[in-house]
Structures are given as C-alpha cells and as structure tokens.
Amino acid sequence: GAMAEGEGLVSVDYEVSGRVQGVFFRKYTQGEAKRLGLVGWVQNTSHGTVQGQIQGPPARVRELQEWLRKVGSPQSRISQAEFSNEKKITALEHKDFQILK
C-alpha cells in the first residue's frame, strides 16, 4: 500500500545463535515473516546457527528482528541475534520467504 511505498524498503542479514536447530526455528521464522508480509530466506548453518535475510518495509523488518532476538520458536533458546549488511533497496529481491536446505 501507500504506506510501504513512502518509507521504502530495507534488506538486512541475520544470524541467530543458541538452541535454534531441531526446534522448528526455520518454520516459525517463515511463518512470522509471512504474517508480517516480509520476503527473504532462512537456513541452518553447519556451525549450529540459523541465518538468512529479511526484506520489506523498515517497520516490519524491525518487528521480525525483535522476534528473532527475543521470541523464536517455542522450544528454542536464543543466546544472540546479530544483524548485518542493512541497506535500502528499491525493489524486493525475493518473491516470498523460503526455507533453504
């Protein structure tokens, strides 16, 4: 809608540490991102973290960042959420929010 156009779009990378694998963290992250209307991706890393990218209106991206920092999936225990490479983008680079293997 007009609101999103006015404030533009941002892209930010994230990595979440803690007990975040094997606890449906990716599935819940995807669900939360879709609820907020965001696009991007999420995947498990080989070193036990979950990482990905979020794109969308800044206010919505902030909401998912807070969720990644404090909430996560019911069984998860988040010790740290790091965000990097934040930048303004003119168009979304993903069609939806995907779980990558």
pLDDT at 4: 47
- Taking the CA atoms of 78, 44, 87 and 34 in sequence, report the sign of the dihedral they define: negative
Helix/strand/coil for 57: coil
Q: At 55, list the tokens.
A: 């794109």
Q: Torsion angle of alpha carbons 9, 56, 91, 84, nearest 10°?
A: 80
Mean pLDDT (whole number) for 80-96:
97
Q: Are 18 and 78 in contact (CB under 8 A)?
A: yes
Task: Give, in words, the CATH class of 9-85.
Answer: alpha beta
SS3 91: coil
- Assess whether pLDDT exceeds 80 at residue 2: no
**pTM flag (> 0.75):** yes
Catalytic residues: 26, 44
Asked whether 83 and 47 are in contact (CB, 8 A), the reply is: no
pLDDT at 3 exceeding the cut of 80: no
**Residue written as tokens 């992250």?**
29
Sequence-separated (6 or more) residues with CB below 8 Å from residue 31:
none
Span 7-57, pLDDT tens digits: 699 999 999 999 999 999 999 999 999 999 999 999 999 999 999 999 999
pLDDT (tens digit per residue) in 51-63: 999 999 999 999 9
